[in-house]
Structure 1
Amino acid sequence: MVKVQGGKSIYGAAVGILMLDARFPRIPGDMGNALTWPFPVLYRVVRDATPDRVVRRGAEGTLPAFIAAARDLARDGADGITTNCGFLSLFQDELAEAVGVPVATSSLMQVGLVNRLLPKGRRAGILTISGSTLTPAHLDKAGVPPGTPVGSTEGGREFTRVILNDEAELDTELARQDNVEAALALRAANPDLGAIVLECTNMVPYAADIRAACGLPVFSIFSFIRWYQEGLAPARH
């Protein structure tokens, strides 16, 4: 007989995801659509942490709620915590300190690693949902090297508006065009671009289109958390 030690409320889901309080459509590929993941995940919505409050207003006043929700996820059985907004890099240190398990707040944490993968003279750039509010503090907390190129979907017709205003309908074709056009503009403005890191977790459904249009590797929260989950719960081979 093999003895096992208990202690969790929920078993089999290593990754806990802190969710913004939002109702916009979460299409397949979106981090908030559970069918996106090839493994089970645990979700916890942080009430009143809206996209507008977190992205446009610096997540003001929300840290205690994020800490409480992260602790709940860890208590229920999550072996590691992530979030569904790249702007929550602001809370990386505080969440890691408070929760007692590994924390990966933002896709932006990949930028330094991606730079190490690229040939000499090439560097990663960031595609964000809101270039006007992505501050040096967000980048510094994620370990992004100073001077990293940043592009944004902010000037587009659909994607940024629908997500940040938390609208009930999303034209996925227009959203795709916004992402592809912003990525192409980022590449055109930076001849040394070697890869793109998607800040926004809602950009994942368009990653393949960006890759096809730009001809560059594209890294996202999906690529990041798949790697992260494998460390939390290694597969048997």
Structure 2
Amino acid sequence: MLDTDFPRPPGDVGHPGSWDFPVKFRRVSGASPDRVIRRGGAGLLDDFIAAGESLIAEGCCAIITSCGFMALHQQRLAAALGVPVAASSLVQLPLIESTLGAGRRAGVITYDGANLTPEMLSACGAEPSTPVAGVPSNGAFHALIESGASYDRAGLEAEVISVACDLVARNPSIGAIVLECTNMPPFAAAIAQACAMPVFDVLTLGRLLYSSTCPRHFTGME
């Protein structure tokens, strides 16, 4: 988890009620949004690895992060930890695009369009040319996460829906949307309805990892 204090309602990666299985959280001291998003997590990789190791020691079967901009470190985190690791919801992009028809692709909604680089997409195995749109730097998401504004659910939802609809309008080949920001899943259903297409996020990623590392047991014939 990044080192933040803004509200995390159900649907946010940091709310235990967002998950239908047990989760554990570990905050990485000094991992501010600015340091991770705009400075690439400089000097923090060892701290993230240490946090992952402590979670694994407590029995965790897979690791995710609370910021999609950790995508840049996907390979190093996965190599350092002995369980499946997904540093960003963006790691789902190659799988999602393989499920879409020919000529269709996934688009990304992000917290910061200026800093989500082709290099980050490539680090997750995605096409560097993937269509990306960020929420406005003077909007509700940035006010909440970096300026201490109160949680404006209606404003946040309207903002991300507007960005998603505009991205799809500008890129008619988009057949699915991936939310980079782990604070956006509370609005995934509204985005799916507005854009009439599937929406993937950190919660779909977490459920995939958990269901594969802790598969269900089936018995009997009925």
Does residue 47 (structure 1) correspond to residue 35 (structure 2)? The answer is no
- Other-structure match for 1:192: 173
Does residue 73 (structure 1) correspond to residue 55 (structure 2)? The answer is yes
CA RMSD of aligned residues (A): 1.2
Q: Which runs of 5+ in 1 are unaligned?
A: 1-18
- Other-structure match for 1:12: none
> 137-146 or 191-200: which moved more?
137-146
Could you list the structure 1 runs, at least 4 aligned residues long, displaced by more than 4 angstroms after superposition: none
Preserved contact between residue 112 and residue 137 of structure 2 (Cα < 8 Å): no
Preserved contact between residue 3 and residue 30 of structure 2 (Cα < 8 Å): yes
Superposition deviation, residue 166 in structure 1: 5.5
Structure showing the higher strand proportion among its residues: 1
- Other-structure match for 1:98: 80
What is the alpha-carbon distance in structure 2 between the residues aligned to residue 94 and residue 43 of structure 1?
20
What is the alpha-carbon distance in structure 1 between the residues aligned to residue 5 and residue 103 of structure 2?
42
**Deviation string, structure 1 residues 188-234 (Cα, Å, up to 9, x no partner):** 11011111011111110000010111111111111111111001101
- Other-structure match for 1:211: 192
**1:221 aligned residue (199, 202, 205):** 202
- Other-structure match for 1:178: 159
Superposition deviation, residue 55 in structure 1: 1.1
Preserved contact between residue 124 and residue 149 of structure 1 (Cα < 8 Å): yes
**1:129 aligned residue (82, 96, 111):** 111
The residue identity in structure 1 corresponding to 2:114 is S
Q: Which runs of 5+ in 2 are unaligned?
A: none
What is the alpha-carbon distance in structure 2 between the residues aligned to residue 190 and residue 96 of structure 1?
32
The aligned length equals 218
The residue identity in structure 2 corresponding to 1:159 is F
SS state of the match for residue 125, structure 1?
Answer: strand
**2:39 aligned residue (39, 47, 57):** 57
What's the % identity of the aligned pairs? 45
Preserved contact between residue 204 and residue 222 of structure 1 (Cα < 8 Å): yes
> 89-98 or 211-220: which moved more?
89-98
The residue identity in structure 2 corresponding to 1:42 is K
CA 166–32 in structure 1, closer or farther in 2 if over 3 Å, else same: farther
Preserved contact between residue 191 and residue 199 of structure 2 (Cα < 8 Å): yes
Normalised by the length of structure 2, the TM-score is 0.94
Preserved contact between residue 156 and residue 178 of structure 1 (Cα < 8 Å): no
- Other-structure match for 1:146: 128
SS state of the match for residue 25, structure 2?
Answer: strand
Preserved contact between residue 84 and residue 209 of structure 2 (Cα < 8 Å): no
Superposition deviation, residue 157 in structure 1: 2.3
Normalised by the length of structure 1, the TM-score is 0.89
What is the alpha-carbon distance in structure 2 between the residues aligned to residue 122 and residue 181 of structure 1?
21
CA 115–191 in structure 1, closer or farther in 2 if over 3 Å, else same: same
**Deviation string, structure 1 residues 137-162 (Cα, Å, up to 9, x no partner):** 21111111121100111256201332
